[in-house]
Amino acid sequence: MDMKCPFCQEFGERTTIHRHMVDAHMDHVTTTHDESSGKMAFVVTCPFCGLAYSRQVKPRGRNPRFLEEFRSEIALVAFDQILLHVLVRHAPEVGVDLDRES
Protein backbone atom coordinates (compact mmCIF):
# COMPACT_ATOMS: atom_id res chain seq x y z
CA MET A 1 0.00 0.00 0.00
CA ASP A 2 1.39 3.39 -1.00
CA MET A 3 0.81 6.33 1.29
CA LYS A 4 2.04 9.78 2.11
CA CYS A 5 4.07 10.46 5.22
CA PRO A 6 1.76 12.07 7.83
CA PHE A 7 4.50 14.57 8.70
CA CYS A 8 5.80 15.63 5.27
CA GLN A 9 5.31 15.11 1.53
CA GLU A 10 7.30 11.88 1.30
CA PHE A 11 5.36 9.19 -0.56
CA GLY A 12 5.96 5.47 -0.76
CA GLU A 13 5.17 1.95 0.38
CA ARG A 14 3.81 1.82 3.93
CA THR A 15 6.87 -0.03 5.28
CA THR A 16 9.16 2.49 3.55
CA ILE A 17 7.24 5.40 5.07
CA HIS A 18 7.38 3.72 8.47
CA ARG A 19 11.17 3.51 8.24
CA HIS A 20 11.36 7.04 6.83
CA MET A 21 9.42 8.36 9.84
CA VAL A 22 11.95 6.82 12.19
CA ASP A 23 14.79 8.33 10.17
CA ALA A 24 13.28 11.78 9.62
CA HIS A 25 10.68 12.44 12.29
CA MET A 26 12.04 10.91 15.46
CA ASP A 27 11.64 14.33 17.11
CA HIS A 28 7.87 13.77 17.03
CA VAL A 29 8.25 10.99 19.58
CA THR A 30 8.66 12.30 23.08
CA THR A 31 9.89 10.03 25.80
CA THR A 32 9.35 10.58 29.48
CA HIS A 33 11.15 9.11 32.42
CA ASP A 34 9.84 9.35 35.95
CA GLU A 35 12.93 9.14 38.13
CA SER A 36 11.15 8.16 41.33
CA SER A 37 9.08 5.28 39.94
CA GLY A 38 11.48 4.37 37.15
CA LYS A 39 8.55 4.40 34.73
CA MET A 40 9.22 5.30 31.13
CA ALA A 41 6.76 6.18 28.43
CA PHE A 42 6.60 7.56 24.93
CA VAL A 43 4.15 10.03 23.48
CA VAL A 44 3.45 10.60 19.81
CA THR A 45 0.83 13.05 18.55
CA CYS A 46 -1.32 12.68 15.44
CA PRO A 47 -0.46 15.57 13.08
CA PHE A 48 -4.04 15.69 11.79
CA CYS A 49 -6.24 15.70 14.90
CA GLY A 50 -3.76 16.20 17.72
CA LEU A 51 -4.63 12.93 19.41
CA ALA A 52 -1.75 11.90 21.65
CA TYR A 53 -0.73 8.28 21.90
CA SER A 54 1.06 7.39 25.06
CA ARG A 55 2.35 4.05 26.07
CA GLN A 56 4.45 2.85 28.92
CA VAL A 57 7.76 1.31 28.01
CA LYS A 58 9.06 -1.53 30.10
CA PRO A 59 12.81 -1.68 30.10
CA ARG A 60 14.46 -4.90 31.17
CA GLY A 61 16.01 -4.12 34.50
CA ARG A 62 16.77 -0.58 35.53
CA ASN A 63 18.82 0.75 32.72
CA PRO A 64 19.10 4.54 32.96
CA ARG A 65 20.33 4.67 29.35
CA PHE A 66 17.42 2.59 28.06
CA LEU A 67 15.59 5.46 26.37
CA GLU A 68 18.69 6.59 24.49
CA GLU A 69 19.73 3.10 23.47
CA PHE A 70 16.29 2.01 22.36
CA ARG A 71 15.12 5.29 20.92
CA SER A 72 14.76 4.00 17.38
CA GLU A 73 12.97 0.82 18.55
CA ILE A 74 10.60 2.96 20.61
CA ALA A 75 10.04 5.24 17.61
CA LEU A 76 9.25 2.20 15.43
CA VAL A 77 6.53 1.11 17.84
CA ALA A 78 5.21 4.64 18.30
CA PHE A 79 5.03 5.34 14.56
CA ASP A 80 3.42 1.96 13.94
CA GLN A 81 0.59 3.01 16.27
CA ILE A 82 0.19 6.43 14.72
CA LEU A 83 0.22 4.91 11.20
CA LEU A 84 -2.62 2.58 12.16
CA HIS A 85 -4.58 5.49 13.57
CA VAL A 86 -3.89 7.68 10.52
CA LEU A 87 -4.95 4.92 8.11
CA VAL A 88 -8.22 4.38 9.98
CA ARG A 89 -9.06 8.01 10.68
CA HIS A 90 -7.27 10.12 8.09
CA ALA A 91 -6.81 7.87 5.05
CA PRO A 92 -7.60 10.64 2.49
CA GLU A 93 -5.00 12.92 4.09
CA VAL A 94 -2.25 10.40 3.41
CA GLY A 95 -3.44 9.65 -0.12
CA VAL A 96 -5.03 6.29 0.70
CA ASP A 97 -8.40 5.18 -0.62
CA LEU A 98 -9.38 2.36 1.74
CA ASP A 99 -12.27 1.19 -0.45
CA ARG A 100 -9.91 0.75 -3.35
CA GLU A 101 -7.21 -0.96 -1.28
CA SER A 102 -9.45 -3.63 0.24
Q: Per rule CB under 5 A, is residue 52 in the interface with Zn ion?
A: no
What DSSP line would sit under 23-83, residue for residue? HH-GGGEEEEE-TTT--EEEEEE-TTT-PEEEEEE--SS--TTHHHHTHHHHHHHHHHHHH
- Min dist CB 13 to Zn ion, Å, is 14
Angle between helices 14-24 and 71-89 (to 10 degrees): 130
**Please, which of residues 58-87 interact with Zn ion by CB under 5 A?**
none
Whose Cβ is closer to Zn ion: residue 39's or residue 89's? 89
- Which position among 1, 51, 84, 98 is part of the footprint of Zn ion (CB under 5 A)? 51
| Positions in the binding site for Zn ion (CB under 5 A) | 5, 7-8, 10, 24, 46, 48-49, 51, 89
